Structure 1
């Protein structure tokens, strides 16, 4: 089973749910006997066939069956990607290692290392292509069509199915996290970096229905030369007009600098509504003191 050498982890949780469903059905459904017959050496293709049989039985909610099948096809596509996307991943890893950041960051326009965003986007497109090809090869033509034409609906159905098996996060939790990422991306579009800058950092909590969010440029660690090991704050400009236009409503818009005894530095503050949710947003000039560097910058010039 490639990554499924045992029934631990996600498969264990899925198995517990399938057992509970099968115990409520008389006689025992064939799909459950097929599930129990899968051994440690079962292939990803065999597991997919069982998941498709479970989905087709109608014994599970539609979105739960959708999740099982799409999740397993994702596993197959990941195996394909190990070779098909190896060169992309190698080139991305070289940049990520050199600059000391991970692949999840949101960058202001033009602030990422040269060619990184384009390479990441092309890698993502190739991954989508592999995923669609695997869905088509597995006979899941409707699923592939939905992914290509309405990826938001695809993810919504899949998440509803994931909740059926795992349920660790409510749909509201997932929606809030997506909303926060969209807000961070909207602010990133308003930033023009004046120097090397890592991905934006952010911290948040929900204060009785109003999201309190601090957003800031992550520090940069200098590597090599006389400044080796020094942690610096990147410079940037913020387009205030563009920032205001991103909000549904603005109740207050201000600039403040917190000195002694807080000494938290200057920030732009926006109180209002973004995409239907109340927010108190602070865009800090400097990251909090305990923030780790978001990027490493080699200050020693290399000969071309």
Structure 2
């Protein structure tokens, strides 16, 4: 999913009420680029959440899910994330870690583990900044300062649509 630019307009798509309208909607969605499609999904998911079309946690999940996907693409361009990523790569090279290899449990140097924690914090802060840029201040605060509540609401909402629990590594 691609990050739409804040404030970029998206096509006004009607709610389908007949098979013909549904086919027309599907055709218009297929013609959208990734940015426009993500933006339309965000608008639609917010509307479902804000209008109470789905339970509160289900709406939270819909909005959080699309924003996390969009944010994960956007943080690849974050200056601090890029810099820390380069530092991690250099440190791995300096220690002789082969590309696509990983240290076993307890084998990584303490400096590398500390830098990984800084990298994870920078990624989380960049995601929260992205949430704020898209008007989701409460979600950003939960993500940064009350991750357990964020995960609980996300998982409760995900369960509304998908049932069985999952292990969302990116939320830990």
- In the superposition, the TM-score normalised over structure 1's length comes to 0.40
Deviations 1:137-170 (A, max 9, x none): 1111222222233110111110111222233x33
SS at match of 2:150: helix
1:123 and 1:133 map into 2 onto residues whose CA distance is: 15
**Would you say the 8 A contact 1:146–1:154 is kept in 2?**
yes
Q: What is the match of residue 49 of structure 1?
A: 43
Question: 1:165 maps to which residue?
Answer: 161
The equivalent residue for 2:71 is 77
User: Which secondary structure does the structure 2 equivalent of 1:58 belong to?
Assistant: coil
Residue among 43, 61, 72 paired with 1:67: 61
Q: Does 1:136 align with 2:128?
A: no
Mapped pair 1:122 → 2:123: no
Partner of residue 101, structure 1 = 102
Q: Under a length normalisation based on structure 2, what TM-score does the superposition of the two structures give?
A: 0.66
Pair 1:150–1:133, CA change in 2 (3 A) = same
Paired with 1:101 and 1:42, the residues of 2 have a C-alpha distance of 33
Match of 1:209 in 2: none
Match of 2:8 in 1: none
| CA displacement at 1:116 relative to structure 2 | 1.2
Between 1 and 2, higher relative CO (CA 8 Å, sep ≥ 6) is seen in 2
Structure 1: unaligned runs, 5 residues or longer: 4-21, 178-304
The answer for the alignment partner of 1:148 in structure 2 is: 144
Structure 1 runs of 4+ off > 6 angstroms?
none
How many pairs were matched up?
Answer: 142
- Cα distance, 1:74 vs. partner? 1.0
User: Contact between 1:70 and 1:158, CA under 8 Å: does it hold in 2?
Assistant: yes
Q: Is the 8 A contact 1:38 1:47 kept in 2?
A: no
CA-based RMSD of the aligned residues comes to 3.4
| 1:88 matched to 2:84 | yes
Native 8 Å contact 1:92 1:120 kept in 2: yes
Could you say which structure has the higher strand fraction?
Answer: 1
Deviation at 1:47, TM superposition (A): 2.5
Deviation at 1:120, TM superposition (A): 0.8
CA distance in 2 between counterparts of 1:115 and 1:152 reads 28
State the Cα deviation string for residues 122-151 of structure 1 (Å, max 9, x = none): 111111111111111111122222223311
Larger helix proportion, structure 1 or 2? 2
- Is 2:71–2:127's contact at 8 Å kept on the other side of the alignment? yes
> Any stretches of 5+ residues in structure 2 without a counterpart?
4-14
Alpha-carbon shift at residue 114 of structure 1 (Å): 4.7
The equivalent of 2:6 in structure 1 is none
Distance 2:132 2:60 in 1: 15
Cα distance in 1 for residues equivalent to 2:61 and 2:89 = 30
Q: Which residue of 1 aligns with 2:10?
A: none
Deviation of 1:64 after TM superposition, in Å, equals 1.3
